[in-house]
Amino acid sequence: MKREAFSGVMVAVAFAILASGCKPDLTAVKATVNWNNAEQSASITIKNRGMVAAAAFDLQVILEEQDPATGPEIVHSITVNGLAAGESLEFRNLSLRHLLRPENDCLGRVAEVVVFIDPVNAIQEWNEGNNRKAVKVPAAVVDCGEMVRFESLAMGIEFTPISHIASDGVGFAIRALPDGGDFATIRRGLPVGNGQVIWLKNVWLEPKLCMPRHYIAFDVGYYGGAVYLEVNGDTGASPYPDIAAIDGITIGGVAIDVGSSEKDTPGVWQFNGVIHSIKIGGQDLAIDNMLFWTQQKRML
């Protein structure tokens, strides 16, 4: 009887292994978030642990708020065009800063960032219980009132060099680049920042700082072409061929981090150090949500 029972167990195990090998197994292997005063982003790794390829499926990033009465907000929905058996797929620094809005307390109520693979169960898997991964986040304290968001400026106007504009209490000069300048203008509908952004077309954007700042950050959409920087009168090696060339460098004694160095992928540019003056220029740059802090980078 014992031998028969043992044989039955072995048959069941073998059958389970055989069955599992006939289906995909989409798994949220890893999820991490950067969630502080300066950055809200997620990095995700998913894998097909099954022995059969998976067809196309969706991947969602969901924000769960602290109030259980408030429903979850799906903030990213990505279609993955299949995943081979054993194949992994990584999403790095998926920015969520464009979601910062006064009406959602600048994401201050978010308690968890949830990754959900195949939410409509399009793929029949041998294990459906490992498709979600939740990461708890601290309360972000980003004051939307501190941001220059360019919402007060009218769309459609081309600010040619030299123009002087102001938004949210901060003045800016629009200046020509060394090779000539076109204009800056206000646009909407871009996957960077939120609402209106300022678009730079072969011009400098120069904030008028009334006092030294120790931390400046803003959302940027890079759409190709050379990048120009000037910090504390130092232009470094400008023009730089692309944003990857400025990631991690120091200009004018100020450290620079651009978050995403890929074309068409919005990132957060951060400047840490004593900043007396700063100019940002480019062929095609979109800028929004500018922060100018007198203290150094505030982390929770």
Work out the average pLDDT over 250-270.
81
- For residue 1, tell me if it sits in a domain: no
pLDDT of residue 265: 66
Question: For residue 33, what is the domain's CATH number?
Answer: 2.60.40.10
Distance (Å, whole) CA 173 – CA 116? 44
pLDDT of residue 157: 95
132 and 153 together in one domain: no
Question: For residue 173, what is the domain's CATH number?
Answer: 2.60.120
148 and 287 together in one domain: yes
pLDDT of residue 270: 87
- In 3D space, the residue among 239, 275, 288, 285 whose CA is nearest the CA of residue 100 turns out to be 288
Helix (H) or strand (E) segment spanning residue 18: helix 2-20
Work out the average pLDDT over 222-238.
95
219 and 170 together in one domain: yes
- For residue 9, tell me if it sits in a domain: no
Express each pLDDT in 169-226 by its tens digit.
899 999 999 888 899 999 998 888 888 999 999 999 999 998 899 888 898 999 999 9
148 and 285 together in one domain: yes
Q: Would you say residue 37 has pLDDT above 50?
A: yes
264 and 285 together in one domain: yes
118 and 194 together in one domain: no
Express each pLDDT in 120-176 by its tens digit.
999 999 899 999 999 998 876 666 667 898 999 999 899 999 999 999 889 999 999
- For residue 32, tell me if it sits in a domain: yes
71 and 132 together in one domain: yes
Lowest mean pLDDT among 2-16, 67-81, 136-150: 2-16
Task: State which of 136, 152, 179 marks the end of a domain.
Answer: 136
- For residue 15, tell me if it sits in a domain: no
Distance (Å, whole) CA 250 – CA 62? 36
276 and 177 together in one domain: yes
176 and 257 together in one domain: yes
Domain boundaries, position 220: 144-293
- For residue 299, tell me if it sits in a domain: no
148 and 279 together in one domain: yes
Q: Would you say residue 298 has pLDDT above 70?
A: no
pLDDT of residue 187: 96
Q: Would you say residue 73 has pLDDT above 90?
A: no
Name every residue whose Cβ is closer than 8 Å to that of residue 53 and which is 6 or more positions away in sequence: 24, 82, 83, 84, 85
Mean pLDDT of the chain: 85
Q: Would you say residue 18 has pLDDT above 80?
A: no
- For residue 223, tell me if it sits in a domain: yes
Task: State which of 136, 157, 179 marks the end of a domain.
Answer: 136
Work out the average pLDDT over 276-293.
93
List, edge to edge, every strand of the sheet that includes 57-65. 73-80, 57-65, 110-117, 132-136
Q: Would you say residue 231 has pLDDT above 80?
A: yes
- For residue 5, tell me if it sits in a domain: no
- In 3D space, the residue among 254, 264, 286, 116 whose CA is nearest the CA of residue 187 turns out to be 286
Helix (H, G, I), strand (E, B) or coil at 17: helix
Task: State which of 82, 112, 136 marks the end of a domain.
Answer: 136
110 and 199 together in one domain: no
- For residue 14, tell me if it sits in a domain: no
pLDDT of residue 78: 86
Please count the structural domains in the chain: 2
124 and 156 together in one domain: no
